[in-house]
Amino acid sequence: MFETIAWSDEGVVMIDQRKLPAVEEYPVFKTYEEVAQAIKDMVIRGAPAIGVAAAMGVALGAESIKSRDPKRFDQEFQSICTTLAATRPTAVNLFWAIERMKGVYRRHKSRGPAAVAAALKTEALRIHDEDIRLNRRMGSHGAALIQDGSRVLTHCNAGALATAGYGTALGVIRAAVEQGKRVEVLADETRPFLQGARLTVWELQKDDIPVTLITDNMAGYYMKQGQVDCVVVGADRIAANGDVANKIGTYSVAVLAREHQIPFYVAAPLSTVDLDVPTGDEIPIEQRSPREVTHLGERAIAPDGAPAGNPAFDVTPHRYVAAIITDAGVARPPFLENLRDLKGRAGNLDSHADSALSL
């Protein structure tokens, strides 16, 4: 099995997702600047995985601060956080993880640089391990929605590669399979970065879960043929009202699913739910380089200089979403009340506060 991201004595190790499926390579990122660049360049991608990478980047950065002067240390720490926060704007898990690291910093900074760096490393590893645990929980909640013999369509990659492990949408599918259900996956290729073709198919094949690759514009055909029983996707940010930002093309899939009366499910940890954002209209949408659209790898597929748009995400209005599967349970409409309720209950039950004992 592969590991998406891990801490090592040399730095942060990540599987290079730009090179999959052709090459399985694990470069080491030795500085926080390198980690930030890796997030920007999509060596690592997927909302929860980006959060883990940012947390490890903060820990790595804090270890490297030379100054023993508290004020200077503080400035350098803030600048590390700012650099990592400036990598990708849509996935809220990035900011959530950095905020969590800042909280640890505030609680430990009076203990001196070595102690604060150790506490930050512990917290980054905790975020990593917790992510896998929460994905498994999400999987067991979501598997109840998948019937034996289901054909499930998914978009982008919301799998082990997009998280610390196991996955969100693919975690739900994995859990259903682990319960003995027969599941077949239809994977949208997900233009332009091809996360579906390159990553989802790769990791499902490794697990021997039957998967058929389709191009994005084939989804309607398969739905009309009655060959899709439900859709399960991940999310980069979910607004308080249940609007879902996810990989570009998700909205089209949701509209098609509604037309064909196919349930459209979203699987995401509660850290992806951003109650500070009232609706999807306020979610910032990353615009990426037109080159990702005009080129396939190094090969141009459009005339030289052709203008191209490249919004990396879109927002699916909550009215298209049948349920949001989280680590704390499944939220149904009305999402405004039910998401708030789930977050509130989980906040009370699940304390993230670190303790000196666990350092």
Give the footprint of ligand MRU on residues 9-68 (CB under 6 A). 45-48
Determine, following the binding rule CB under 6 A, whether residue 162 of this chain makes contact with ligand MRU: yes
From residue 85, alpha-carbon distances to 36, 40, 54, 292, 294 in Å are: 8, 10, 8, 23, 28
Q: Which residue is nearest to ligand MRU (CB)?
A: 234
Determine, following the binding rule CB under 6 A, whether residue 168 of this chain makes contact with ligand MRU: yes
Determine, following the binding rule CB under 6 A, whether residue 137 of this chain makes contact with ligand MRU: no
Q: Give min distance, CB of 339 to ligand MRU, in A.
A: 17
Strand partners, 187: 154, 213
CA quadruple 10, 84, 296, 246: dihedral, nearest 10: 120
Q: Give min distance, CB of 70 to ligand MRU, in A.
A: 36
Give the footprint of ligand MRU on residues 190-249 (CB under 6 A). 195, 234-236, 246-247
Backbone angles phi, psi at 325, to 5 degrees: -90, 120
Determine, following the binding rule CB under 6 A, whether residue 128 of this chain makes contact with ligand MRU: no
* C-beta closer to ligand MRU: residue 247 or 343: 247
Backbone angles phi, psi at 244, to 5 degrees: -120, 120
Return the active site residues. 236
Size of the site for ligand MRU (CB under 6 A): 17
- Put the strands of the sheet holding 237-239 in their side by side order: 273-274, 237-239, 244-247, 313-316
Give the footprint of ligand MRU on residues 303-332 (CB under 6 A). 312
* C-beta closer to ligand MRU: residue 117 or 346: 346
| Residues ≥6 apart with Cβ < 8 Å to 131 | 48, 51, 52, 163, 164, 165, 269
From residue 80, alpha-carbon distances to 10, 84, 346 in Å are: 19, 6, 30
The residues of the shown chain that bind ligand MRU, judged by CB under 6 A, are 45-48, 91, 156, 158, 162-163, 168, 195, 234-236, 246-247, 312
